Structure 1
Amino acid sequence: MKHRAFRPATILGTAALLLLAHLPQAHAEGSDNPVARGHYVADASDCSACHTVKGGPPFAGGMAFKLPMGSIYSSNITPDPTHGIGAWSEAEFARAVREGVRRDGTSLYPAMPFPSYARISDSDMHALYVYFMKGVQPVARATPAADIPWPLSMRWPMSVWKTVFAPAVQSAQQDVNRPFPDPAIARGAYLVEGPGHCGACHSPRGLALQEKALSGSAGTLFLSGGAPIDGFVPTSLRQDRRTGLASWSEDDIVAFLSTGRNRKGESFGGMTNAIVHGTQHLTPEDLHAMARYLLTLGPSHPAAPAWHYDPAAAAELQRGDATARGARLYVDHCAACHRTDGKGYAPVFPPLAGNPVIMSDQPDSLVHVVQSGAALPGTARAPSAFVMPAYGRMLSPQQIADVVTFIRAAWGNNAPPVDAATVAELQKSAPPPVLDGKPVPLN
């Protein structure tokens, strides 16, 4: 979780568990109303994060996705009959969402997470269709054409890709309805593997950009950490000791999904969007179900040693010794919020000591946060917003490398050092810092 104290939410009651045993679909209070229920499914599926441009009308599309071969744009999924999906039947809608096939029969690019959405139940799919047809305002806005050059723009190869890598709807739903130890975990598996499509970011991908595992039944690669996205590396959501959720409790996960912060860290990058547009709107029961499921996923690297706090770096800084590489930069720019002992002031300023993001083999996320800053918006359950400044214009690549190296080495983190060349290369591929809504160039 694409990187936090909170009162524990109410534990699932016995009656709720009995209901959940027979209701794997995403539901909300007042779910007898199909529009309200469909709205809840849309939140659980994080539809708004991709189909709503900031400041634009809901679900009107147009968000750019930069791929190695060019850019594609999210589609208009409002009920406008010309530019949206207003003329689509429910069967056509379901086929697009779960199978990646457009109304005209051509294939969608797998930027649309249909391999995960194949797990969405028929009843949830019906509610989702009703919501988009009756609960969303139509917007007469055309989707920009993809700027992928020919012959890469041909879509027929996507049909081959789907045949090889995307599950059939029936097999996907059989998989998500496999036996689980209790109904809450089954519910959590449905939300995480299906509507929540967590694996789209947090699972590794192969040479064809396919997810190497689509569910917990496929082995320990599922949710073991993903490839960099916009300068951030999605972490492992499994019980990995140093780089996963082994030190997180059920309440820690619930707090993070509902507020973007907890006693362990804070969200950043795409995970913040997923929380703001999606998980913060889910019920406490569903959030606890997701957390309980994640806690069942064993480590992908079971032999990795556990993190143990080492006070040596804190002791050096507290007695005025800042001779270690990057230590003076840390004292001058970081210690006021994250403290000389690296423990921060959670949930306002996250701890750096023992933070899975810090200990990752890939320093991308930490480098990007130091370079470009980060903003944690308020949520319904945690309305305060916090901003970390961008140091990309203040510090050189060498200085960023030095302070990042100090953070990765201190307090028992013991992660490899970072050099200036790596920082400079990451700066090229990551988006620039944003000030007042506008990108700020670093040179």
Structure 2
Amino acid sequence: MLNGAGMAYAAPRVAEPTLVERGRYLAQAADCAACHSVENAPAFSGGLKMNVPIGAIYSTNITPDPQTGIGQYTERDFARALREGVARDGHALYPAMPYTSYSKVSDADVAALYAYFMHGVPPVHRANLTATMPWPLTMRWPLKLWNTLFLNDRRYTPDTRQSVEWNRGAYLVQGLGHCSACHTPRGAAFQELALDEHGTAFLSGAALDGWFASNLTANAQTGIGAWSADDIAVFLKTGANAHATAFGPMTSVINHSTQHLSDQDLASIAVYLKSLKAENRNASTTSAVDPAAMAHGAQIYRNFCVACHLANGSGTAPWLAPLVGNPNVLENDPLSLINITLNGTPHLTIDGQPAPYPMPAHRAALSNADIADVLAYMRNSWGNHAPAVAAHEVDTLRKQTGTQP
């Protein structure tokens, strides 16, 4: 077969429909659409901007277009990119691509994913965008050294001391679900500080691109220690439960990925997450909040928040998030609270139906001091105790995420 440049390439062999369908399910479990799709463009055609400490990079076209996508990839090429972070032409991928997690994906699942992307996804001719960062940071060869230091290219090995359900959950969380890519803090070289439960940093929460990805360990205050296994499964299926509601990037995870998983897989994920020991790497000593800030925050709350979250902060779960005991409210790092107050959150869409009460944006209506004080009020009322929020923290994120009104 010839590509558009007149060069020969080997067309992928025809795949069994059942293999393609399994690959579709695995692509949902891996949430490939969240990074490789953007609004008003065909699915998997790339173009999502991702801000990283060294600049901005863009997700690539992973449709089977032979010129701009992965149409010329063999299954071996595909597996190498997925699990080792090396493209077909040999250049290293940035570790924003979670290949350190995908390295654990089995050969059988890689084959199914390859079958889906080659036979279940329409080809889209859409050129990839160039990363925007200063030279010499654009050079790719240092990434090979990064891989030598931080990539453990081994498939997931079941722990014989644990149940089948636990191992399935571990495989999904550590591998396809790549939960640690967001929820595990990173080191100075942008490496995840742990890739499984043997590291204390694993899933202990992390700041990333204007949000704080929640602590998923058994910490009872800032983690999911107060959640039952059923609470976790319900959250992943619907984006909300009695304790919290998904927001920010997690909304996309629910919309594109976890709501489509089988009940059995969701239960397995819950079993695994419930086994993680409590960690709170972001702990701090809570000091008294200025009474004037609390009084001002209470007034802002009555004007802007009480209609949904109620005077006692209990909300009406699962439709409107409770603030009492909400781990995202109690988290020491207020990044997500500031972001969601400034910018709102996208719609959760479950079974094709948008959630009726999305959080609106308040950046135009509230000043930096207003937001800082109302968040301090929420974090220190109704039995909640968490550090105050400073106006300069709000100002920093306001400028990072848009123009000041």
Same fold (TM over 0.5): yes
What RMSD, in angstroms, separates the aligned Cα atoms of the two structures? 2.0
Instruction: Establish whether residue 339 from structure 1 lines up as the match of residue 310 from structure 2.
Output: yes
Q: Runs ≥4 in structure 1, deviation > 6 angstroms?
A: none
Cα distance in structure 1, aligned partners of 2:394 and 2:120: 46
TM-score normalised by L of structure 1: 0.83
SS of equivalent to 2:156: helix
CA contact (8 A) 1:325 1:405 kept: no
Match of 2:365 among 394, 397, 401: 394
SS of equivalent to 2:346: strand
CA contact (8 A) 1:113 1:200 kept: yes
Indicate the residue corresponding to 1:442 in structure 2. Answer: 404
- Deviation, 1:41, is 0.7
1:110-125 equivalences in 2 (<5 Å)? 110-125=95-110
SS of equivalent to 2:50: strand
Instruction: Provide Cα deviations, 1:294-324, integer angstroms capped at 9, x if missing partner.
Output: 000010149x89xxxxxxxxxxxxxxxx973
Indicate the residue corresponding to 1:364 in structure 2. Answer: 335
Aligned length: 382
Cα distance in structure 1, aligned partners of 2:258 and 2:310: 30
- Deviation, 1:422, is 2.0
Indicate the residue corresponding to 2:145 in structure 1. Answer: 160
Indicate the residue corresponding to 2:176 in structure 1. Answer: 195
Indicate the residue corresponding to 1:437 in structure 2. Answer: none
CA contact (8 A) 2:19 2:115 kept: yes
Higher relative contact order (CA 8 A, sep 6+): 1
- Percent of aligned pairs with the same amino acid: 47
More displaced 10-residue stretch of structure 1: 332-341 or 369-378: 369-378
Indicate the residue corresponding to 2:202 in structure 1. Answer: 222
Indicate the residue corresponding to 2:22 in structure 1. Answer: 37
CA contact (8 A) 2:23 2:116 kept: yes
Task: Specify the code of the residue in structure 1 equivalent to 2:211.
Answer: F
Cα distance in structure 1, aligned partners of 2:47 and 2:393: 33
- Deviation, 1:325, is 4.0
SS of equivalent to 2:358: strand
TM-score normalised by L of structure 2: 0.90
Instruction: Identify unmatched segments of 5+ residues in structure 2.
Output: 1-15, 285-292
Cα distance in structure 2, aligned partners of 1:146 and 1:240: 38
Indicate the residue corresponding to 1:24 in structure 2. Answer: none
Compared CA separation, residues 242 and 381, structure 1 to 2 (3 A): farther
Match of 1:65 among 34, 50, 55: 50
CA contact (8 A) 2:58 2:129 kept: yes
SS of equivalent to 1:412: coil
SS of equivalent to 1:65: strand
CA contact (8 A) 2:294 2:374 kept: no
Task: Specify the code of the residue in structure 1 equivalent to 2:70.
Answer: I
Indicate the residue corresponding to 2:13 in structure 1. Answer: none
Cα distance in structure 1, aligned partners of 2:352 and 2:41: 25
CA contact (8 A) 1:259 1:381 kept: no
Cα distance in structure 1, aligned partners of 2:294 and 2:149: 55
Indicate the residue corresponding to 2:4 in structure 1. Answer: none
- Deviation, 1:383, is 5.0
Task: Specify the code of the residue in structure 2 equivalent to 1:384.
Answer: A
Cα distance in structure 1, aligned partners of 2:48 and 2:294: 46
- Deviation, 1:381, is 8.3
Instruction: Provide Cα deviations, 1:190-249, integer angstroms capped at 9, x if missing partner.
Output: 000000000000001000010000011x222100111232x2101110000110001111
CA contact (8 A) 2:238 2:254 kept: yes
More displaced 10-residue stretch of structure 1: 182-191 or 143-152: 143-152
